[in-house]
Amino acid sequence: MSRLESMRRRLTAQIDGLNWAAKATAGLTGDVLEMGLGNGRTYDHLRERMPDRRIWVIDRQLRAHPDCIPPERDFLEGEADAMLTDLARRSARMVLTHYDFGIGVPEDDAAEALRLSALIAPVMVPGGLVVTQQAMTGFTQIPGPESIAQGRYFFYRAG
């Protein structure tokens, strides 16, 4: 499989996974959290799928496409640890967190996701979902949509 096909498969997994999670959390009350804005493509998808949810965004810097810039009040620019602590303090609670951090160094990315798990848990509503390409800890892993290859995405339910 070429890197072009691999990229398409990754986008398909993102689309299917986020659509599935949006539907699965439709009955819950709360906000959405996008960790890692990047170019803003998945943010754009989340806001299109869940137009009535407030979508918080955490990133170290704003470098999204001009059409995908979150409202200023929802964009938390800085280190994730501080921003998650801030969200918890403000009593913001998420029905869905999409975790998309990573610099492409497998060990570092894995360690960061495990470390941040403990800070994500307090901002989740009970039964809320975490969708991530990195393994997390402290949540209940659940199967996602059947269309996504095993191990490509992880789906977790908050306790």
Residues that bind a second copy (CB under 8 A): 2-5, 7-8, 11-12, 14-15, 39-42, 44-45, 48-49, 65, 67-68
Pairing mode, strands 140-142 and 94-99: unpaired
**Could you tell me the smallest distance in angstroms from the CB atom of residue 3 to a second copy?**
4
| Contact (CB, 8 A) for 30 and 125 | yes
Query: Cα angle vertex 34, ends 32, 35, to 5°?
Result: 135
SS3 label, residue 59: strand
Closer Cβ to a second copy, 15 or 28, answer by number: 15
| 15 to 22, 41, 153: CA distances (angstroms) | 11, 10, 11
| Contact (CB, 8 A) for 33 and 5 | no
**Could you tell me the smallest distance in angstroms from the CB atom of residue 40 to a second copy?**
7
Closer Cβ to a second copy, 64 or 120, answer by number: 64
**Could you tell me the smallest distance in angstroms from the CB atom of residue 4 to a second copy?**
4
Side-by-side strand order, sheet with 31-35:
75-77, 55-59, 31-35, 94-99, 124-132, 154-157, 140-142
Closer Cβ to a second copy, 99 or 139, answer by number: 99
Closer Cβ to a second copy, 3 or 73, answer by number: 3
**Could you tell me the smallest distance in angstroms from the CB atom of residue 34 to a second copy?**
12
Closer Cβ to a second copy, 28 or 68, answer by number: 68
**Could you tell me the smallest distance in angstroms from the CB atom of residue 15 to a second copy?**
6
